[in-house]
Amino acid sequence: MKKVGVLIADMFNEFEVIYPYYRLLEEGYEALLVGPEKKEYKSKAGLAMEADRGSSEVKPEQIEGILIPGGFAPDFLRRDPKIISLVRAVFDLGKPVASICHGAWVIISAGIVRGKKVTGFFAVKDDLVNAGGIFLDEPLVVDGNLISSRKPEDLPLFMKEFLRQLSLVPDKK
């Protein structure tokens, strides 16, 4: 079964983790919750979810793509050099990297925004622009293998495109 990383840390947005998680399962992927450590994390509303793997346990070659949910979790995720390295490596391999809402903080820290069309929650617009991104206030922005959206209401479009790009990743067989 093909694996897809879904990043998680404390203060994650429930909608932006749970909706993608189950959509990935529906499409036959193994959705791996990846945190800085393999432990329980709590959402903004207190929902507890366990990371399947810590960031040091996942190699970019083992996953087909990576999804970065929002909430305040990305501020914790971007402090983990292994998370940043993983996101950068997945991007460099040409695999889909999908960021929604405040997930933009992680793609900024991974250094994959410069010269790319991107979007995110309006509060991170300046961060994206200062990192060299071309900010578009649209529900879905795709620039190569970088997929971005603004907020939970954008999830249907966001996941449709992420799943489309995942289907294009060649089998390793």
pLDDT digits (tens, 9 = 90+) for 90-134: 999 999 999 999 999 999 999 999 999 999 999 999 999 999 999
Pick the catalytic residue from 102, 116, 125, 150.
102
pLDDT higher than 90, residue 157:
yes
Query: In total, how many domains does the chain have?
Result: 1
Domain, as residue range, for 23: 3-168
The question of whether 102 is a catalytic residue gets the answer yes
Is 101 considered catalytic here?
Answer: yes
Contact assessment for residue 112 and residue 91, using Cβ atoms and an 8 Å cutoff: yes
Q: b/e for 83-95, b at 16 or more Cβ within 10 A?
A: bbebbbbbbeeeb
What element of type H or E holds 117? Answer: strand 117-118
Of the residues 51, 101, 131, 159, only one is catalytic, namely: 101
Res 80 pLDDT > 80: yes
- Kindly report the CATH number assigned to the domain that includes residue 155: 3.40.50.880
Confidence of residue 173 (pLDDT cuts 50, 70, 90): low
| Cα–Cα distance for residue pair 127/12, rounded to 1 Å | 19
Residue 16 placed within a domain? yes
Asked whether residue 121 is domain-assigned, the answer is yes
